[in-house]
Structure 1
Amino acid sequence: MTPADDLSPELADALRRAAGAPTLVIACDYDGTLAPFVDDPTLAVPAPGAVDALERLAGLPRTTVALLSGRNREALAQVSGAAAPVVLVGSHGSEWEGGFDTPLDDDELARLARVRSALEEIVSHTPGAHVEPKPTAAVLHVRPVEDPDRRRTAMSEAMAGPAAFDGVFVTEGKNVVEIAVREASKGAAIERLVEQTGAEIAIFIGDDVTDERGFARLREGDIGIKVGDGQTLAGYRVADIPAVVGLLAHLAELRG
């Protein structure tokens, strides 16, 4: 079976169209799209062949490939092993190679400290949960919590508590709540990549509710691909991570 055999006829046609674009942007989410979810986020390594396919695409003329993740950029580089010419964009699109556009001001720093403290309080009575600090956000992770009721309770406490603070921006995902003090958008990041490159077509691949902001900002003719089940604004869908790797390898063959 070839990678193309796992694609719907409509998606196969869309990829052929994208392969012929003079300039192409390909942006991929990381966790749940190229790497399986695990309890310890530092151990979420890419699926076999994923980085090879990205690097092969990134080496083609007039082809920009980006990993677009909610992780901070340094953590994304460490866990993925990806490097230039693959572009790494962290913190849901707000953190680029040069860092953030402007540092947090005193009010934002104070707000971030308050958010982290509130989430740590939830973690203190939720065995298995932990808080991931980010430069502009704090993230509650409840995936390792064994009791489903405690998992739901922790998420509800986060949404009713620090997620309701003034001046914060909330992204609720699969067993995570990220609370930022500066707005970020994967959709805006994709638009920035398109503007920088002049790409006629952009492809965005993602699996989580956080990726819907990326799908929502795609232009007519762009290609959004949802991984797995669930409602989506994406026009196309694949079943799982191996299908994503096969799709990328197939696109590299078409464009190469």
Structure 2
Amino acid sequence: MSLHDRHDAIGRMAASERLLVALDFDGTLAPLEDEPMEARMLPVARDAVDALLAAPGVVVALVSGRSLSDLRIIAEHRDDSRLLLAGSHGAEYWFPGEGAFTHEDDPADAGLRDELRAHAEKVTAQLDGVWIEPKRFGFGVHTRKAAPQDAAEANRLVDVLVSAEAPRWRRRTGHNIVEYAFRHEGKDSAVAELREKTDATAVLFAGDDVTDEDALRSLGDGDLGVHVGTPPTAASVCVADIPAMAALLADIARERGSARS
């Protein structure tokens, strides 16, 4: 991001009446980990989020593909937190003062989920470094620790399985993971729901992965999309890494404080 682009982005966000800052977690605030449940925000990212929470007219939300229960653990999210959460790509929420919320499911979907997850574990059991992650609305195939050929074979086997047994499920790819879900919400719908819930007049959304691009493409005039990493991306600005993302968020928090003091 050029200095001019950074200045313009901060100015737009500082000028909005009510700002929603919606942030992916893994790769955006916390480094990617071989053991997913070990992920935690970098201290500099935590400080930036806290500064935004203290800034006037700002609501901060984490928007993640993680289940809500797992997201609360890795984000070290407490019952008295002011952070909003959207888990499972926007199928689950946690709102301050209200607690957890989710849209109703068909019980048959959960039965099929459990059956397919067990089948996925069976067909990939012989592939080293492949792990099937249980999710509330489906499951994920993790291949971060697998050799490339084993990763490709795991994804092929599970693609065949899901295509045959649940062809209408949503498939998402990310960093060394393929996710399958019977719910079709995405981070774009999560941002839309959070925008309505918070009466936001502008949205900043930031992410680093393929699954974040739906949300980035959904942003409108007056919003800001930030990609952590290098193009291609639908984001209007890119930052190099998590510390650079944290610095941008901290600048916005300071600017909003100054503009409304």
- TM above 0.5: yes
Q: Which residue of 1 aligns with 2:117?
A: 116
Verify: 1:95 aligned to 2:92, yes or no: yes
- Cα distance, 1:163 vs structure 2: 4.9
Q: Which amino acid aligns with 2:88?
A: S
Would you say the 8 A contact 1:163–1:170 is kept in 2?
no
Verify: 1:26 aligned to 2:27, yes or no: no
**Which of 75, 78, 94 does residue 73 from structure 2 map onto?**
78
Would you say the 8 A contact 2:142–2:177 is kept in 1?
yes
Q: Distance in 1 between matches of 2:3 and 2:124?
A: 43
Q: Which amino acid aligns with 1:99?
A: F
- Cα distance, 1:12 vs structure 2: 2.5
Would you say the 8 A contact 2:16–2:202 is kept in 1?
yes
- Cα distance, 1:44 vs structure 2: 1.0
Would you say the 8 A contact 2:173–2:211 is kept in 1?
yes
Q: Which amino acid aligns with 1:206?
A: G
User: What SS does the aligned partner of 2:141 have?
Assistant: strand
Would you say the 8 A contact 2:231–2:238 is kept in 1?
no
C-alpha distance after superposition, 1:45-95 (max 9, x if no partner):
111221221122122222110011111112111112244211121111111
After superposition, the CA RMSD in angstroms is 1.6
Q: Which amino acid aligns with 1:228?
A: G
Q: Which amino acid aligns with 2:204?
A: I
Structural mapping, 1:185-204, within 5 Å:
185-204=186-205
Counterparts in 2 of 1:154 and 1:189: CA distance versus 1, 3 Å: same
Question: How many residues are aligned here?
Answer: 249
Q: Which residue of 1 aligns with 2:126?
A: 125
Q: Distance in 2 between matches of 1:76 and 1:173?
A: 17
- Cα distance, 1:101 vs structure 2: 1.4
Would you say the 8 A contact 1:225–1:235 is kept in 2?
yes
Q: Which amino acid aligns with 1:25?
A: L
Would you say the 8 A contact 2:124–2:157 is kept in 1?
no
C-alpha distance after superposition, 1:88-131 (max 9, x if no partner):
211111111223111x3232122212321232123301112111
Q: Distance in 1 between matches of 2:212 and 2:43?
A: 23
Unaligned runs of 5+ in 2: 95-99
User: What SS does the aligned partner of 1:32 have?
Assistant: coil
* Stretches of 4+ aligned residues off by more than 6 angstroms: none
Q: Which amino acid aligns with 2:161?
A: G
Unaligned runs of 5+ in 1: 1-5
Give TM-score, length-normalised by structure 1: 0.91
C-alpha distance after superposition, 1:197-230 (max 9, x if no partner):
2222100000000001111211122111111124
Q: Which residue of 2 aligns with 1:3?
A: none
Question: Matched residues, percent identical?
Answer: 35
Q: Distance in 2 between matches of 1:158 and 1:42?
A: 23
- Cα distance, 1:24 vs structure 2: 0.3
User: What SS does the aligned partner of 1:39 have?
Assistant: coil
Would you say the 8 A contact 2:12–2:222 is kept in 1?
no
Q: Which residue of 2 aligns with 1:14?
A: 9
Q: Which amino acid aligns with 1:101?
A: H
- Cα distance, 1:8 vs structure 2: 4.0
User: What SS does the aligned partner of 1:254 have?
Assistant: helix
Q: Which residue of 2 aligns with 1:141?
A: 142
